[in-house]
Amino acid sequence: MQTSISDAIEPGSLTIRILTTNETNVTLQTDKRFEGAVVQPGAAASGFIGEHGLAAWVEVKRGDRRHAVLFDTGGINASILHNLGRMNLKLGDVDKVIISHGHFDHTGSLVKVLPELKAGCELFIHPSSYVQNHMVTTNSGEEVPLVDFSKAVRELKKAGKVTHEVKLPALDKAQVEKLASEHGVRVIETGQPVDVCPGAATSGEVELFDPLEVTPGFYLLKSKADVEKHTFRDEIALYMNVKGKGLVILTGCGHTGILNTIRHGQKLTGIERVHAVIGGFHLEMSPETTVERTIQALRQLDPAVLCGMHCTGLAFNAKMLGSDAHVQGVVGTEFRF
C-alpha cells in the first residue's frame, strides 16, 4: 500500500493549531530558536479551556484555496467549541474531519461539532471507532484470556492482579449518522489511507512493525461472546509533506506506537525525512526503558520539531527538556511550516 503526497505543500502554507489538549499556559514563551515555526499563545491562553482530550485545526494554503481540516474533536466537555470561538475559527469553514480513533477524549464533542459543519463536509472514521473498549491492566502484565472474558476479568480481580479496569464509553454510531444526515455531512468509514488535500493524506491502518509498541491492556467488546485483543486498527494519523523539509506527522494518541506510526508514514509515502512529530505519543503508562528507547529512536530521526502532549506523559517531556526539537504543546500552540 502506498499513497502519493509528492505534490508537496509550499513552505509557509501549512498551519496546525492546537484546539484542545490537557494544558493551558499563559506564561509559556515563544522560543526564538524555532524561527517562527512554533508560536505559543501567551496572554491569549487565559481565555482558553484545557481538558483531557485532543483536537487540532490543520490549514493548507494552495494558491487562493484554503483547505481546513479538523483532526479530532477533543473531550466530553466541549472545550473545542469555546476555544474555536476565542481563536476566531469557524467549524463552517472545515472541509474534512478526521477521527484518529474511537476513544471519548478524541470523539467526546463530535455530536456537538457535527451540527456546526457545512453541508458537503466529509467525516472520515474507522469502523472500529464505534466498538466499545474495555481496558484491563494487570500487575503481572499478563493478558486476559479472550474465552469467557468477563469471567476471566472477575477471577483476575479476585486474585488481586488487576491494577486498572474500566469500560470506555462507546461512540454512538446511530447518533453520529443521524446528525450527519441532518446537516449534510458525509460519513466515510474506512481503514484505507485517504488523500485529504494536495500534499496531505491519512495513514489508514498503521502497520505494526514492532507489536510491543502497541498500548497493552485494551480489548474490543464486539459482543458479550465476541472479544478480541485491541491492536488499534482505528488509530489514524495525518501525514503532510512540506517541500524541502519532509514529513509533518500529526497523531491522536499513538496507541499503535509513535515509532510504528512514523515508519508507516515513511513506507506509505516514500518520504524518509521527518520534519515534525506532533500529538499524543501515549507513553504516560510506559516503563522508563520504553520511554528512553523511544527518545533515542526519535533523536536518530532528528526532527526539527517534536511535540508530545495529551497522553505522552511527564517522563517523556522531562527527559526531552533541553533538546533542540522539544516543544511544550498547550491549547493555542501554533505550528507554521
Q: What is the mean pLDDT of residues 326-330?
A: 98
pLDDT for residue 224: 85
Does position 90 have pLDDT exceeding 70, yes or no?
A: yes
Alpha helices in 76-188 (DSSP H): 79-86, 104-107, 110-113, 149-158, 173-182
The vertex-206 CA angle with 253 and 22, nearest 5°, equals 10
Q: Is 140 exposed, middle or buried (0-12, 13-18, 19+ CB in 10 A)?
A: exposed
pLDDT tens-digit map of 208-222 = 999 999 999 999 999
Q: Confidence band (pLDDT; 50, 70, 90) for 166? A: very high
pLDDT value for 171: 97
- The per-residue pLDDT of the chain, averaged, comes to 96
Work out the angle between the directed axes of helices 288-301 and 258-269 (0-180°, nearest 10): 30
Percent of the chain with pLDDT over 90: 96
Q: Report whether pLDDT(227) > 70.
A: yes
CA 218 from centre of chain? 17
Region 104-132: what's the mean pLDDT? 98
Alpha-carbon distance 255 to 257, whole Å? 5
Instruction: Answer yes or no: CATH 3.60.15.10 is held by domain 14-131+170-336.
Output: yes
Residue with cell 495525518: 238
What pLDDT score does 217 carry? 95
Quote the pLDDT of residue 184.
Answer: 98
Question: Which uninterrupted H or E stretch holds 35?
Answer: none
Contact between residue 168 and residue 104 where contact means Cβ atoms under 8 Å apart = yes
Cα 262 to Cα 284: distance, rounded to the nearest angstrom: 19
Confidence of residue 100 (pLDDT cuts 50, 70, 90): very high
Is 1's pLDDT higher than 70?
no
Q: Quick one: which of 77, 90, 72 has its CA closest to 49? A: 77
Nearest partner of 204 among 283, 279, 125, judged by Cα? 125
Cα–chain-centroid distance for residue 36?
Answer: 24
Region of 219 on the Ramachandran plot (φ > 0 left; ψ -120 to 50 alpha; else beta):
beta
The Cα 147–Cα 197 span in angstroms is: 44
User: Average pLDDT for residues 275-285, to the nearest whole number?
Assistant: 97
Average pLDDT score over residue span 305-314: 98
* Rounded distance between C-alpha atoms, residue 243 and residue 92, angstroms: 29
Position 141 pLDDT exceeds 90: no
If you average pLDDT over residues 107-121, what whole number do you get?
98
- With vertex at residue 39, the alpha carbon angle to CA 109 and CA 258, rounded to the nearest 5 degrees, is 60
Q: What is the sign, positive or negative, of the torsion defined by CA atoms of 259, 260, 264, 270? A: positive
Asked whether 217 and 136 are in contact (CB, 8 A), the reply is yes
108, with CB counted inside 10 A (0-12, 13-18, 19+), is: buried
CB atoms within 10 A of CB 116: 14
**Per-residue pLDDT band at 258 (split at 50, 70, 90):** very high
pTM above 0.95, yes or no: yes
Q: Is the pLDDT of residue 186 over 70?
A: yes
Q: What is the DSSP letter of 165?
A: E
In this prediction, residue 317 carries a pLDDT of 97
pLDDT grade for 99, boundaries at 50, 70 and 90: very high
Does residue 319 contact residue 292 with C-beta atoms inside 8 Å?
Answer: yes
CA distance 43 to 27: 7
Q: Is the dihedral of CA 4, 70, 15, 326 positive or negative?
A: negative
Q: Is the pLDDT of residue 2 over 80?
A: no
Helical residues (DSSP H) of the chain, grouped into ranges: 79-86, 104-107, 110-113, 149-158, 173-182, 258-269, 288-301, 314-320
